[in-house]
Amino acid sequence: MYYPEPISKLVDSFTKLPGIGPKTAVRLAFFVLSMEEDDVLEFGKALVNAKRELTHCSNCGHITDKDPCNICTDPNRDNTLICVVQDPKDVIAMEKMKDFQGRYHVLNGAISPMDGIGPEDINVTSLIERLKDEEVEELILATNPTVEGEATAMYISRLVRPSGIRTTRIAHGLPVGGDLEYADEVTLSKAMEGRRDL
């Protein structure tokens, strides 16, 4: 035990964070000692509050400090469009785009039989409920372009089909600013497949 206990406890806590190894943890812990006391108190409070005050919106599953969330209660949003994403971070990515004016549904996961995650483990029952109640016209499936994301999109589209609601999948292809030369075969094949008339 080289460090006084309060430091080694803080180092241990930092080490639990992803991408922070023992050396960085020590550097951060010593930095905390040099911070203003107010900033440290605020940091401690922010940690506990983030954990305690945040829940998932009972309507859309997005992370929020009030239930239902801001997006669900926003009267200016289009009730006819629901964009289904895997993760609260995906909602934020979509919101940064500033282009989408519909509502969201966050699955908080994706179907992955390898990890033992089935349809009942993701937030899909409440999606079906929403589709019954609301005047939804289109369901945009914006799960990740991975095996799990594709499987989840496929599952939901089949589930929704009987209701007659239009389900769409976001496009796969070359990212803007990307380079054909460095694109992988699957992306390239998806880009060819999804080609459109000019």
- Binding residues vs a second copy (CB under 8 A): 2-7, 9-10, 12-13, 16-19, 24, 26-33, 35, 37, 39-54, 63-65, 69-70, 88-89, 92, 95-96
Cβ-based neighbours of 150, under 8 Å, separated by 6 or more:
143
How many residues are there in the chain? 198
Nearer to a second copy, 121 or 150 (CB): 121
Q: Which of 67, 60, 64 has its CA nearest to residue 85? A: 60
Q: Which of 131, 124, 122, 71 has its CA nearest to residue 95? A: 71
Phi, psi (deg, nearest 5) at residue 100: -95, 125
Nearer to a second copy, 4 or 162 (CB): 4
Nearer to a second copy, 30 or 171 (CB): 30
Distance between CA 177 and CA 61 in Å, rounded?
33
CB of 45 to a second copy, least distance (A): 7
Nearer to a second copy, 24 or 126 (CB): 24
CB of 116 to a second copy, least distance (A): 17
